[in-house]
Structure 1
Amino acid sequence: MRYSYDIKLSQIKVSALQYLLMAVICLSSYATNGQSVAFPGAVGWAADTPGGRGGAIIRVTNLNADGPGSFQEAIKTAGKRIVVFEVGGVIDLKGKVLRVNEPFLTIAGQTAPSPGITFIDGGIGIRTHDVIVQHIRIRTGASRHKVGEWEPDGMATISAYNVIIDHCSMTWAVDENCSPSGPRFNGKTPDEWRKGTSHRITLSNNIIAEGLSHSTHIKGEHSKGTLVHDNADEIMIYGNLYASNQDRNALFKGGARGVYANNYIHNPGKNAVRYGLVDQEWEGYPHETGKISIVGNMMQHGPSSSDMPLLYMGNGPCEAYMEDNIAKKLDGTDARMFTGDSAKLVKTKPIWFNGLKLMKAGQLKEYVEKNAGARPWDRDLHDKRIVKEMLTLKGRIIDSEQEVGGYPEYKPTAQKFDSNAWNLNSMVRK
């Protein structure tokens, strides 16, 4: 994507003030379209993170779980870095959850040759700041593990900030598929609590689907999409496809604050979006007020769905705003929009990101069909299946990845990364 703002005074007659104003507008437009923002289309409070921009190009040259040339080696490297892939296929984590501890990182899964990069039997935990993750698949699964000994998230942020997880596919997790998390009371004041847990996090344009229900989690049933942990702040959940998760599509816990906009929820089992503070977890602490703005979303009941509303308002003080949402039962009739204490519904947005441009809820099905998940131009069989189930009102809550074909097997591919073919500031192909 290229921009040109050359203005010749010999061709256009403007005053000095007009010329200055035009220059400011041009520079502002340039910044908005890929310089001061992470990439074109980035949204939310984390949108201005540089990630690894300007850092070293680190090439993943094999599909090994660790060692030289591996993905794990790349993310462990200190300093600004952009991780690109010269291989495509499956990275078997063999029961590991990789930790991202070093900040200023861009993971550019879009650079991999087809079929892209798929992680199996593991997950990724982000415990730092200024990280961009795009176009990877995490298919956690549980068939190799015993009950009570394996309950990872697919991808999670833990006390992280300025993080964007965009155009990724996260399925078959045993805990949540994708969550902003961390300690709820790190610090002495509510402001310190919010800074001590995950904040300024964007989850955008992802497929978050098929959390495993009766699997290896010690608590039993645990098919969950996204948990926005207590006091997490400035959370943007935008443009995602939630499909066939029993619960937490998403759940905002006590004091959590965020925007939930333009998401499509297909075939939720027990709950779609909900808010809830757990009294026992807040013992000795004053209850903080949650703030959520729920705008332009679509919930479509499916074969596994109970008679649920789009939003269930549970325990704890909260201000919730709802606008332009659609909720449908499987037979096409209207589902309930809200259940709970209606006094918690407010008439103005309690939290919002200025400049956020939204689609109408009725446009979401077409949008996620074309745009959601990792590499929508090169979807794998599981993402194709999940999107097709959304379109045909099918799908089900599953207990094991083996019920839907099991871990993917792809023949490894290789292709050298050509830095001249990419805008290294935004990791958009030229």
Structure 2
Amino acid sequence: MTHRITGRTSTIRQLGLALLLACATPLAAQQAPPPQLAFPGAMGWAAHTPGGRGGRIIRVTTLATEGPGSLREAIDAKGPRIVVFEVGGVIDLGVKSLKIKEPFLTIAGQTAPQPGITLVRGGIDLSAHNVIIQHLRVRPGEAGLAKMAGTDFDSISTVGAHDVIVDHCSLTWSSDENLSASGTRFKGDTPEQWRAGTSHRITFSNNILAEGLGYATHAKGEHSKGSLIHDNARDILIIGNLYSQNRERNPMFKGGTQGWVVNNLINNPGQRAVHYNLIAAEWDGHPYQDGQLVLVGNSMRGGPNTPERTPFFQFGGSGWLDLYMEDNLAVDRYGETLPQTGRYSSNSAGWRMLKTRPPLPFGVKPMPAKDVQDSVLANAGARPWDRDDIDRRILENAIEGRGKHIDSEAEVGGYPKVAETRQAFVPADWNLDTMEPLKPLPRREPLR
């Protein structure tokens, strides 16, 4: 009898312990720390990408295009890595793009000594995952090539990449797009596979995207474009950017895309500001997919290159788009109100206006559109504490309503010419988890 009671007591104790563990596990899970942000203020589906956090620090020590100590060598290295700069100045890419193929990378342009890092005569194509690029200037220009030569560059383009943040960069004078999310249109057999196979979970925040070149080296001729979000790309956040002096694609979303455009300033667009277009010929044999686009708190100002009555948003092509719009300002160069919507397609399809705003992407808290101009002009672009003369001119023109569309960098002074500078990178001066400085950085005088 005693033995049976003891055994029963032991069983009860075991059950009690199991119950305690079962109850404790969800509590422990609730108390687990949230994933770390890429950096304070990171937003969107890519907000928690680690980039190169925890990896080795690779120092860029030369402005040479390639070789030991070059940016290209650092980008090509394998494994998690944080790229920092012990040199400042201009890197001439020699009419050849940098190809980022290895994942878990942070490029910290903020670490360079004044005047920072500018890439010319080439761009960056990014086909990896978990990448953070901050505080670079990329200015491809015509690169000395003939008009319509057929060699063209995005300043930065993601190509089938995911979990990527491009933040506080200055991307100008592209001969294709200034900043884009692209990839294979139909990789796989199903729409789900198509979306997984192209760029997704991308954040473009606080960048200057300006002066895309019109009649330059692109084989199609005129090609002054801001941003192209390619077919089936999803989870795209475009927030806090300045689009200035680009004829089209400010930004453009193609068929089946899903994205948010929040608190951007669009200055002096050409015939189109924000637009959507599923091109039927590119979808031959594939069922059209509905797109979804959310436009909140943006400000558009027409300029000398903006045709009269240009709408803030235009629909073109085929298929359907679910569209939500809220608090977007659009005025011409004289301050007169412009239309919110329009179309450049005669098809019966079009947009279906959503009555309820879809859930906000992580960390997004839209500001009123009336406050966007001052915020973007103060914060957008590479190294706002240390702007170069080109960014200063672009921003001052935006403030004053001046400037125009251009066909060559030569029309606005040509490639920058600055002396090489050097300064050792001191890890103790930086938060290596977020690449924030732990002491104030040298500042130039503010814009006037």
Hey, what's the Cα distance between the residues in 2 that align with 1:181 and 1:423?
32
Asked if 2 retains the 8 angstrom alpha-carbon contact of 1:152 and 1:173, the reply is yes
Q: Does 1:338 align with 2:341?
A: yes
* Local SS of the residue matching 1:377: helix
**Residues 81-111 of structure 1: CA distance to partner in whole angstroms, max 9, x if unpaired?**
0000000000000101110010000000000
Deviation at 1:344, TM superposition (A): 2.0
CA distance in 1, matches of 2:169, 2:84: 15
- Distance in 1 between residues matched to 2:69 and 2:143, nearest whole Å: 28
What SS does the corresponding residue of 1:349 show, helix, strand or coil? coil
Q: Which residue does 2:67 correspond to in 1?
A: 67
Which SS does the other structure have where 1:201 is aligned? strand
CA distance in 2, matches of 1:161, 1:369: 28
The CA distance in 1 between the partners of 2:376 and 2:199, in whole Å, is 26
Aligned mates of 2:304, 2:389 — CA distance in 1: 21
| Number of residue pairs matched by the alignment | 404
Contact 1:266/1:301 (8 A) holds in 2? yes
CA deviation vs aligned residue, 1:264-289 (integer Å, no higher than 9, x gap): 00010111000010000001011000
Q: Within 2, Cα distance between the matches of 1:411 and 1:189? A: 53
1: CA distance, partners of 2:75 / 2:363 = 32
Q: How far, CA to CA, are the matches of 1:116 and 1:375 in structure 2?
A: 8
- Counterpart of 1:181 in structure 2 is 182
How many percent of aligned residue pairs carry the same amino acid?
52
1:399 and 1:380 map into 2 onto residues whose CA distance is 21
Report the counterpart of residue 235 of structure 1 in structure 2: 236
User: Aligned partners of 1:354, 1:206: CA distance in 2, in Å?
Assistant: 19
**Aligned residue identity for 1:204:** S
Q: How much does 1:351 deviate? A: 6.3
The C-alpha deviation readout for 1:7-60, integer Å capped at 9, x for no partner, is xxxxxxxxxxxxxx9x978x85xx5xxx61100010110111000000000000
SS in 2 for 1:99: strand
1:321 aligns with 2:356: no
Asked if structure 2 preserves the Cα contact closer than 8 Å seen for 1:164 and 1:202, the reply is yes
Once residues 116 and 396 of structure 1 are traced to their aligned partners in structure 2, the CA distance between those partners, rounded to angstroms, is 26
Q: Match for residue 310 of structure 1?
A: 312
Given the alignment of the two structures, is residue 269 of structure 1 paired with residue 306 of structure 2, yes or no?
no
- CA–CA distance in structure 2, aligned partners of residues 387 and 152 of structure 1: 23
Determine helix, strand or coil for the equivalent of 2:218.
coil
Question: Partner residue of 1:124?
Answer: 124
Aligned with residue 373 of structure 1, among 375, 381, 405: 381
* Distance of 1:24 and 1:376 partners within structure 2: 39
RMSD: 1.6
Q: Report the Cα distance in structure 2 between the residues aligned to 1:354 and 1:148, rounded to whole angstroms.
A: 42
Runs of at least 4 residues off by over 6 Å:
none
- Decide whether aligned partners of structure 1 residues 378 and 24 sit closer, same or farther in structure 2, where only a CA change above 3 A counts: farther
Q: Secondary structure at the match of 2:394?
A: helix
Q: Quick one: distance in 1 between partners of 2:397 and 2:359?
A: 33
- Once the two structures are TM-superposed, the CA of residue 355 in structure 1 deviates from its matched residue by 4.1
Q: Who is 1:193 aligned against? A: 194
Structure 1 residue 359: Cα displacement:
1.1
**Any conservation in 1 of the 2:42–2:363 contact (CA below 8 Å)?**
no
Q: Give the structure with higher Rg (CA).
A: 2
Unaligned runs of 5+ in 2: 1-26, 344-348, 439-448
Are 2:388 and 1:387 equivalent residues in the alignment?
no
TM-fit CA distance, 1:66: 0.2
Q: CA deviation at 1:148?
A: 2.5
1:418: Cα distance to partner? 0.5
* Structure-2 residue corresponding to 1:16: none
Quick one: which amino acid aligns to residue 169 of structure 2?
A: C
Q: 1:354 & 1:42 partners in 2: Cα distance? A: 9
1:226 deviates by 0.2
What letter is aligned with 2:61?
T
Q: Distance in 1 between matches of 2:190 and 2:336?
A: 46
The 8 Å contact of residues 49 and 130 in structure 1, kept in 2 or not, is answered as yes
The 8 Å contact of residues 301 and 333 in structure 2, kept in 1 or not, is answered as yes
Q: How far is 1:349 from its partner?
A: 2.9
**Residue in 2 aligned with 1:10?**
none
In the alignment, the residues of structure 2 paired with residue 258 and residue 137 of structure 1 have an alpha-carbon distance, to the nearest angstrom, of 25
Contact 2:311 2:338 in 1 (8 A): yes
Q: Distance in 2 between matches of 1:156 and 1:104?
A: 17
Between 1:130-139 and 1:348-357, the stretch displaced more is 348-357
Matches within 5 A, 1:71-220: 71-146=71-146, 147-220=148-221
What secondary structure does 2:375 align onto?
Answer: helix
Unaligned runs of 5+ in 1: 1-20
Residue 50 (structure 2) aligns with: 50
Please give the secondary structure, in 1, of the residue aligned with 2:227: strand
1:38–1:426 CA contact under 8 A, matched in 2: yes
More deviation in 346-355 or 377-386? 346-355
SS for the counterpart of 2:123 is strand
TM-score by length of 1: 0.91
* Cα distance in 2 for residues equivalent to 1:343 and 1:173: 30
From the superposition, tell whether residues 148 and 349 of structure 1 become closer, same or farther in structure 2 (CA, over 3 Å). farther
CA distance in 2, matches of 1:262, 1:187: 35
Secondary structure of 1:370's partner?
helix
The CA deviation string for residues 251-303 of structure 1, in whole angstroms up to 9 with x for no partner, is 00000101010100001011100001000000101100000100000000011
TM-score, normalised to structure 2's length?
A: 0.88
SS for the counterpart of 2:75 is: helix
1: CA distance between counterparts of 2:352 and 2:226? 24
Which amino acid in structure 1 is aligned with residue 406 of structure 2?
A: I
CA distance in 1, matches of 2:374, 2:302: 17
Aligned CA distance change for structure 1 residues 343 and 99 (closer, same or farther; 3 Å): closer
2:299 aligned partner, one-letter code? M
Matched, 1:288 2:296: no
* Partner Cα distance (1:37, 1:279) in 2: 40
Alpha-carbon distance, 1:149 to partner: 3.1
CA separation in 2, counterparts of 1:319 and 1:215?
Answer: 35
